[in-house]
Amino acid sequence: VVGVDWVERALSVRRYARGGERAAHKPLLLLYALGRFQQDGDQAIPFSAAEDTLRRLLREFGPPRETSPVYPFHHLTNDDRLWVVETPDGPGSPGPTLGGLRRPGVQGRLHPELVEALSADPSLVGLMARALLEANFEQSLHQDICQEAGLDLEVADLPVRAERALPARDPQFRLTVLEAYDYTCAFCGYDGLLDGAAVGLDAAHLRWRAYDGPDDLVNGLCLCALHHRLLDRGVLGLTSDRTITVSRRYTSHSRTARTLVLDLSARPARPPGGGRPLVAPDHIAWHTDQVFRAPAFQQ
Ligand SMILES: [Zn+2]
């Protein structure tokens, strides 16, 4: 019961997302702090030691707009007993500025009450981390985020998910989408089978489930595993008329990467068969604003 309470508290940091705008800073700081707790226990985290990792987490998994690690490091102290910041002069954050937080001896740590709960219940780290991931990020990104945050979710088997935070999954979604696209990647045409069953193909969401993206064909694309990952990381996107876009911030050297990724630019995405509904423009627009790393290569 106590564990559930902490999970709810971690999920409450999502409240500040307005109108589908991604607010990933605080969840990413919490995930990072939970990773540090898993590795080092209750050690304070100097801002100077956390800054680079936080900046990278924000750049890779936060929204496309620029965000500073200053923001969550300071502002998470306002949430309910999750995070505290202290200076050599005592408790309390010096404020949301780089200059203030970079001063020697400025450090953050998980709130003492949370540390107590985490120490008493070894499954709580995983429970909170899983809930934060489910409530804020598409599933294809969970493993990458854990790796970079230093979190190991495999040490504890985790039966509980953040069900309360999300609408129930439609168990038919994957099949509906794959079938509609004739088991073919809508970007590259990949259509592999293993013993007659589709392999390496996913039903991808344009608008993330964590941001009210429905399990509906108008929010789905059948994509191969590579293109699904690149869609969720903002390398690939769609225009409102469903032309594929590639971020100009994406670079590669090999001919393979050129063929698999860069050559997709300006190609039309494959539509679903049998006159079934296309991806809806409002879901494309959400992905363009909140995930795609603009600008795109010239069409
Ligand atoms: Zn593909």
Task: Determine the pLDDT at residue 46.
Answer: 97
pLDDT at 164: 53
pLDDT tier for residue 276 given thresholds of 50, 70 and 90: very high
Q: What is the pLDDT of residue 122?
A: 87
Q: How far away, in angstroms, is 298 Cα from ligand 1 center?
A: 21
What pLDDT does residue 80 have? 83
How large is the average pLDDT for residues 171-193?
Answer: 96
Reply yes or no on whether the pLDDT at 200 is more than 60.
yes
**Residue percentage of the chain with pLDDT more than 70:** 93
Mind listing the pLDDT tens digit for each residue in 136-152?
999 999 999 998 898 98
Q: How many A from CA of 28 to the centre of ligand 1? A: 29
φ/ψ (deg, to 5) at 45:
-115, 105
Cβ burial of 186 (10 Å; 0-12, 13-18, 19+) is buried
CA distance 127 to 153: 9
Tokens read off for 71:
């923001």
Q: What is the pTM of this model?
A: 0.86
Residue bearing the bigger pLDDT, 69 or 14: 69
Instruction: Look at residue 84 and give its three-state secondary structure.
Output: strand
pLDDT at 254 over 80: yes
The DSSP bridge partners found for residue 46 are: 107
How far does residue 245's CA lie from ligand 1's centre (Å)?
Answer: 13
How far, in Å, is the centroid of ligand 1 from the Cα of 224? 4
Report the separation in Å between the CA atom of 132 and the middle of ligand 1, taken as the mean of its atom positions.
29
Distance CA 250, CA 240 (A): 21
Residue 155 confidence (pLDDT) above 70: no
What is the per-residue pLDDT for 49?
93
**Average pLDDT of 109-124?**
94
What confidence score (pLDDT) does residue 16 get? Answer: 56
Distance, CA 198 to ligand 1 centroid (Å)?
A: 13
1 pLDDT higher than 80: no
**What does the alpha-carbon distance between residue 57 and residue 70 come to, in Å, rounded to a whole number?**
13
Average pLDDT over residues 35-62: 94
